[in-house]
Structures are given as structure tokens and as C-alpha cells.
Chain A
Amino acid sequence: MKKKLIVIGAGMATGRALEHLLEREPEGWDVTLFNAEPRGNYNRIMLSPVLSGEKTYDEIVTHDDAWYAENGVTCRFGERISNIDRTAKTVTAETGEVLPYDKLLIGTGSNPFMIPLPGHDLDGVIAYRDLEDTERMMAMGADKRVVVIGGGLLGLEAAAGMAARGADVTVVHIMPHLMERQLDEAAGYLLRKALVDKGITVRCSANSKEILGEGGRVRALLLDDGTELPCDLLVMAVGIRPNVALAQDAGLAVGRGIHVDDQMVTSDADVLAVGECVEHDGALFGLVAPLYDQAKVAAATLCGEEARFVQKDLSTKLKVTGCDLFSAGDFAEGEGREDIVFRDPGRGVYRRLVIEDDRVVGAVMYGDTADSNWFFGLIKDRTDISEMRDTLIFGPAYQGGAAVDPLSAVAALPDDAEICGCNGVCKGDIVGAIAGGATDLGAVRACTKASASCGTCTGLVEQLIAVTTGAEVETKQSICGCSDLSHEEVRRLIKAQGLKSMPAVWQELGWRTHDGCHVCRPALNFYLLADWPLDYADDPQSRFINERKHANIQKDGTFSVVPRMWGGITTPDELRAIADAADKYDVPTVKVTGGQRIDLLGVKGEDLPAIWADLNDAGMVSGHAYSKGLRTVKTCVGTDHCRFGTQDSTGLGIQLEKVLWGSWTPHKLKLAVSGCPRNCAEATCKDIGVVCVDSGYQIGIGGAAGMDVKETERLIDVATEAEAIAVVCAVTQLYRENAKYLDRIYKWMGKVGMDWIREQIEDTEARAALVERFEISQSVYRRDPWADHAARKAESYQPVADLTLEAAE
């Protein structure tokens, strides 16, 4: 007699299990298949191509009526099972009908997780799970706006599918980069770029607050920063939860999923389960590969054969045309691991392998995934790769050892990328000139004026000549081991390509490491914030400790605290507050610095936010004695008291310090204003020095008195204080925009020449534009970091935990 098998759920897992079962024992079973969806088994993962219009529903049906009939499967589609009685060995359908079973197979899949935001139950808020959802999305044509919450696989396939139909789609993702579970930042950056190219708006690090409705229908999504994203449909694709309610009510052992053993048998010997609803050895499943293995094992178990389900490594691909990505294994894991990174900015390719004990344990690829199966094979088979380590990253075909082309970043530039900022010369112009016979630097300079002014783009022009003519380039000093490009080239390329994030620079400029090093990261952080003050968010983790914690670290790990004394002027109240702080925080040394202010040395790291708050209360702010930024503006007493003073040097010094403070510069920036040529403020050995004379102000730049002692060179003379301030801001901005990180002004001046600097400053239009850009940047950075940290980050200055206390308890 045939055994009665009831199957709950016609999903991808049970469909496969039935195939195996009926192939093995075609005559052995009387099968009844229930499905809550009003249809039989179909290939759920192909809903995405259906959505985007690349396939039709009919093409993705896996088992049709003929198959069920041929195999004697009784279909009960559109009917949900509401109860299981394990003692009686029966199930109850929604209709109340009770059916007996000998064996029961549960494959109820999972439920999409809906974030319980206010408004989540409005009409027009859907998940992405079945054909009904897909059809709702397919209705979103050209004039419709859609918001997708969730930047994972599912959300992005939904977004791309609707965008392909012409809808205006915005993806809202809570994490800083897309698909963060499968991709690292670099691949996430490339993916985002590709989606933006498809017209999709991507908002990362965005928190949803509320779904707004009108007449019971969704109208917009409100983010917690107050942004409203209007929409006609809102798709939530944030995760799934195993559908275990039925099994739980039946008293089966359930954790996060229905517990099954290696044979796919639940805690009841007559009940098996497969698919996303199960939990095996602590793991849940969300991809089909392991479900197919489970299906095979379940079929064998039902036939009384030996079989065992074993969890394997998984790989992921995104089914969006033009977004070629692959991720496998655990690239986020780090036991004795080592990264091999390959980037080809020209082709938009990124590959990263994670190696552990001479084996590949993880891989992330973007752009060219042709070799992904080979890499996945290495992961699964735990192949020893020590023999091919050097060439491994190039894939199976390329075991010849190709070096990364140092010219690829330049080769990848579009024709309209500006190479020479001074003269506005684009790549296309230069390539044109080279094609026209200008094959050396002098000739290119003569026909295009590229690199004829400040000269910082010279390296790029030489590379363009090399790329175009195949000539050799001389290698110059690169920024660090992560790249072959020089600082100047990196700066120009950041501007020419509009690179506004660290991962963008790493990828587009072909960084060899995963996330840079302690040499390049602080430089890149400065370049990005100097070039894009409004777009780029400063990265504290890419700053040296002094700038990260806004205090100078000392040899014993304590810090020094130097409050600002504007122009060297202080008051009895400020001095009292400093004295009180010194007492309160047991400051071992109080010293007058060479910069006309007071240094509290030896403050404990944990006390910093508190001592700052105290100093803030007395009206003092950070002196930035730790920064590559504005340090001090030294002044002399000037006309206020001195019998030789010609102008108010103290007043001008204070004004300058108030305008410039908080700004970040390539290296430290020190100023002084002296009231007359006797120069008591030592203005002629500062980065920028002003010497007052009867007729106005002599402004010199390029002085120093550290490792090199340099006298300033005269930049310009001006008549009024206002002009003096404008010139100082303009030259500071010019230095910020052009100099190599860690070049003081005198070094930068040595490279670009005083004549070029003077030209920019004398040109009143250029000067005004520089001042304006400086002000834009200062609108972000002219604020007290001490007050910010004391208010918002104080906690991070404390140990994360104190185990000495726990031990004592």
C-alpha cells in the first residue's frame, strides 16, 4: 500500500524533494501538496528577472499541471494548513478538512520581516517575496516613485527591476555601504556607482523613521534627519524570519527555525522539514544551494536510505544586469589572514581574496567575475595555494604574473577630466596634442599650456604621454606602498574624477591594499576634506592620534592641553580658570609655550573631555597645538602701547586668528603680526607673516624656524586691514588646495614658485574666489572640537570596560 505523504508548502525546497522522492519510489507514495500561494512550485529566485521584464512568469514555473498529474500528486493550491495533530497524525486545512498522513514534510519557507515603523500597515507598503508582490511592482511604470528600504540582495533586485521599467527609485539603506554582509566597502562603492548610473538614488547610513500616508495609502517615507521621500509604493526588503508558527503550535522543537537533524527529521520521527523554515546545527538558510542539498537528503530519508546534510560554503551573486559581483566564504574573518587586492580602475574591476594558512577562505569580486567559479572551487576544496600565491589574484588563465599597471588610473580618465587646474586643460586636449605630434612635455606644454603654471600636474601629463605613445615614464616618489601615484597626482585625480570618499579613491586610483595605511590615510583624509568640505565627512580613524583626540600625546601616553589665547592676549579670569583646571586635574607641568600661550602637560586621556568642558565654561576653546592646521597668530603690542607701533598688530592678529582657527592645512600653519619692522613677533620666520608699516601691511610667506630656518619672502603689500585678511585667507586656501600633505608653505613654494602664487593673489578675481572657498570650508570647520567632543564623544575617552572592578566584586 502507498504511504501517505502530506507536503506543506510548494516552495523551492519541497519541489526539489518531491522530484527526488518520486524518481526513487514512483509507486511508493500518495502525495498531497498544500500551498498557501494560489499556484504550484515555481522558481522564486527568478522573480527578479520577471520583475525587470527579462522573463515571464510562465518561464519560471518548475512543475506544471502535467507533472503533478503524471506523478500522481494531489494539488491543493491556495489552501493553507492551519493545524497539525501529531498524536492523531493528521493535518487540518483552512477549510476544516482533516487529512491523515504517514509522513509529513514541512517546507513553509519564511516570512519577510516588516520593520514595525508607524505606517507599515498602509496600503502600498509591501515586501518582496512572491508573485503578488512582483506584480505590484511591475505596475510601477515611468511616472511612479518607489522607495525600497534595504540595500541587500533582495532590495537591490527590486530597485533595479523597477528602475528598468522606468520608475523613479530610491534605495534607503541603514548601513554605510550596500550589501554590507556580502561586500566590503570597495565593492560596495562600485555597486553603488553602477546603480546610480542606472538612475537609482542610493541613500546609505539613512534611518527610516515613519511611513507617511494619505487616505490609508502610502505617501512618503520620513527619515530621521527630517527628509521626506515621496512614493507611490514602498518595498521593505530588510530580511526574513523562518515561518515556524505551524510547527511551533504542533509542539515540534523550534529555535529560530524548526530544529532538524542531519537527516532533515524534526523532533518527531514522522515529520521532516526542509528549506528556509529549518534550523540545522544553529544555522538558518536563505539561499537555494543548501536547500537543494536538504531536499535530496529528505527524499533519501523518506525512502529509508542513508544520507546526511552537510553545511557548505556559499556564494552570492546579484541578479542585476550590469552589476557583476560575486562574494563567497568569509572575507570578514581574520584568523591569521592576509588580503590580496587587485584593482583595475580602467575596467572598474576589484578583486579581494582572503588567505589563511595558504588557503583561500573568502573572495569578493566586482566588475569581472568570470573566474569566480574557479575561486569558489579553491575555497570549497580548501586548495593549498602557496605555489601560485603571487599570481593567484589574476585568475586561472593568468598564471604569468601580470603586474598592476601603474598607468591604469590615468588611462581610465574620461576625456573631459581636467588635468591642469591652472589652465583648465582636459585629458582630451592633451591626448589630442600628443596625437598631433607633441610627444614630450615641452611640446605638450607649448600647445596646450598644461603644466605650464604651478607644475603640480606635470606627472600626470607625463603619464598621459606614456599611455598614449607607449613611452617609458620615470617613476617618482609615490605616496606610500599602497599606490604608485605621487601626492600631487593623487590630488589632481581626486579633483579631476570628483572622488569624494576614501573607498572611491582606493578603487579609482588602484590602491593595492584593502584600506590604505598609516601613511596615505591621513593624507587622503586631508585632500578629501580640503577639496570637498561640504560632501566629505572627516574620518577620525584616518587621523594621527593628536588630531583624533585633539591633544598632543606625550611619551608616557598622557596628553597636553593648550587653550587658545587669541593673538597672545589673555585675562585674569582665563588665567584663574587655567590655574583651577591645573589643580583639579593634577596637571604636573604648566608651561608657557613658544607660541604665546599656556600648555597644561601630562593630562590623563580620560580627563580630557572634563578639562575641556571646564575651559569651555571659562570661554576658552581648543588651541589646536596638535593640528596640521592653524596653530597660533603671534602678535606684538603694536600701537596700543609701543612707541614705535605703526598699526594695531595685536588687533589684526586676533582678527586673523578668529578667521582662520579650526582650518586644516597640509602642515601646521603659524602666523605672526609685528607692529613695525623691529619685528618683535618674529613675523619673518612664520609660514605667513605680516609686518606693519606706516603705509599699510607687508605680507610675507614661507618662513620657518624648525628643522629648517627660513626667512619669509615678500608676497604682496596692501593698504588696509581688510585686504590683509583677504590676502592671508586666499594664500591659506591656495596652499590648502594645492600643496602636498606635510609640506610647510616654504616647501610648497619651492615647488610651485613664488611667481605663480603671487599671480593668483594679485588677480583680484582669483583672490576673491579663494576667499570664498575658504569661507565655505570654514562654515564646516570653524568650531571648537573640544566642545563637540565633551558634549558628544566623552564616553569614547573612557576605557570600554573595567575588568579590575569586576574582579574585585
Chain B
Amino acid sequence: MTHAPAPATFEEADAMSWIDIAALDDIPLRGARKLRTAHGCVAVFRTGADTVHALDDRCPHRGGPLSEGIVHGTSVTCPLHNWVFDLNTGAAQGADEGKVATYPCRVEGGRVLIDATRLGAAA
């Protein structure tokens, strides 16, 4: 399985440093868990189709924790005022405008790996 966003080139892939953060089953199907990082919380989502996605856990509207939202398709609905975000791009959908940062993240052998390069953590 792969996930958002994949490296564009092999050089980029080489520059990534994947950290194992959890078992896939630690994240509920159509749910999320928080990941604490030096830059604040990241929400790690698992969709109904078993893909994983990592986004900043802060809604650009008024800071709602996206990890607590309802996951449907490849979207999440913010729990505070129902803005809907695309898990692949982090962009708000519909009439709302805003974008959340996303982090490369993937599943390998039932484990969830995240790219630590932008998270300020040592792999």
C-alpha cells in the first residue's frame, strides 16, 4: 500500500527517513490517531480502503482537531464546524478555503511508517 504524497523521484525517496510509528491496527478503520511531534500534533488517518494519510491536526478554520473527525472516502470532516478536507492533498473541499500540511506516510508489513524529515524527529 502507498500513501500521500508519494516521492516524485528516487532521489527524493532516498532523502526520506521513514519512522515506524504504529501497527496499522492501532488506528481504527475510518478513524485516526494523534501523533505527537516537535511541531505539534499530526493526525494519522486510516480510510475504509485501508490507506493511511498524515495531516497536521489543526483545522485552518478555528483549530479543530481533525483527528477527531468522521472519516469518509478519502476525506475527513472537522469535528468543530464540519469543514471537509481531502486527506490526499490537505485542501478544504467545497466552498471553504484552506489547506493543511500533509506528510508522506505508508504501510509496510502491517506497520505505519511516516517520513520524519519534516517532523523534526530522528529516524
Contact = CB atoms under 8 A, between A and B. Distances in A.
Interface of A: 184-185, 330-339, 513-518, 521-522, 540-545, 548-549, 553, 555-557, 796, 799-804, 806-807, 809
Interface string B102-123: 0000000000000010011110
Contact of B1 (A333, A555, A807): A333
Interface residue range, chain B: 35 or more
B60 interface: no
A548 B84 CA distance: 19
B5 to A, nearest CB: 7
Contacts of B121: 803-804, 806-807
A807 B120 contact: yes
Contact of B36 (A330, A543, A801): A801
B73 A513 contact: yes
Contacts of A521: 70, 72
Contacts of A542: 30, 70
Nearest to A548: B68
A289 to B, nearest CB: 22
Given A333-B2, A515-B30, A515-B72, 4 more contacts: A335-B3, A541-B28, A541-B31, A801-B36
B51 A334 contact: yes
A431 B14 CA distance: 66
B26 interface: yes
A184 B48 CA distance: 9
Contacts of A338: 74
Interface of B: 1-6, 19, 21-22, 26-31, 33-38, 41, 44, 47-51, 53, 62-65, 68-75, 77, 79-80, 82, 84, 87-89, 116, 119-122
Contact of B34 (A517, A541, A556, A800): A800
The 10 closest A-B pairs by CB, nearest first: A334-B51, A800-B33, A518-B77, A803-B121, A518-B70, A545-B68, A541-B30, A545-B79, A801-B21, A515-B48
Nearest to A180: B50
29 contacts: A333-B1, A333-B49, A335-B6, A335-B88, A336-B5, A336-B89, A337-B88, A338-B74, A514-B48, A515-B48, A517-B72, A517-B73, A517-B77, A518-B69, A518-B77, A522-B70, A541-B71, A553-B68, A557-B63, A800-B21, A800-B26, A800-B27, A800-B34, A800-B44, A801-B35, A801-B36, A802-B36, A804-B37, A806-B19
A800 B70 contact: no
Q: Which of A185, A333, A541, A543 has the most CB of B within 10 A?
A: A541
A332 B88 contact: no
Contact of B72 (A184, A518, A803): A518
Contact of B49 (A184, A806, A809): A184
B interface SS class: loop
Contacts of B74: 334, 337-339
A544 B64 CA distance: 13
A521 B71 CA distance: 10
B4 A334 contact: yes
A334 B64 CA distance: 25
A515 B73 contact: yes
A778 B122 CA distance: 50
Contacts of A804: 36-38, 121
A796 B3 CA distance: 23
B122 A544 contact: no
A514 B68 CA distance: 21
Given A800-B33, A801-B36, A332 B1 contact: yes
B36 A803 contact: yes
B112 to A, nearest CB: 8
A555 B62 contact: yes
A336 B120 CA distance: 26
B33 A796 contact: yes
Contacts of B41: 799
A515 B37 CA distance: 31
B33 A799 contact: yes
A804 to B, nearest CB: 5
Q: Which of A185, A540, A548, A803 has the most CB of B within 10 A?
A: A803
Contacts of A807: 38, 120-122
A644 B12 CA distance: 80
A237 B69 CA distance: 38
A543 B119 CA distance: 30
A669 B72 CA distance: 28
B19 to A, nearest CB: 7
A802 B40 CA distance: 10
A544 B76 CA distance: 12
B33 A333 contact: no
Contacts of A522: 70
B106 to A, nearest CB: 10
B95 to A, nearest CB: 14
Contacts of A334: 1-4, 47, 49, 51, 53, 74, 87-88
A258 B5 CA distance: 33
A575 B19 CA distance: 46
A551 to B, nearest CB: 11
Contacts of A330: 1
A556 B58 CA distance: 10
Contacts of B36: 799, 801-804
A335 B4 contact: yes
A636 to B, nearest CB: 36
B89 A803 contact: no
A544 to B, nearest CB: 7
Given A541-B30, A541-B70, A803 B49 contact: no
Contacts of B21: 800-801, 803
Nearest to A362: B49
Nearest to A800: B33
A338 B89 CA distance: 12
Contacts of A549: 68
A504 to B, nearest CB: 15
A522 B36 CA distance: 29
A513 B44 CA distance: 23
A801 B73 contact: no
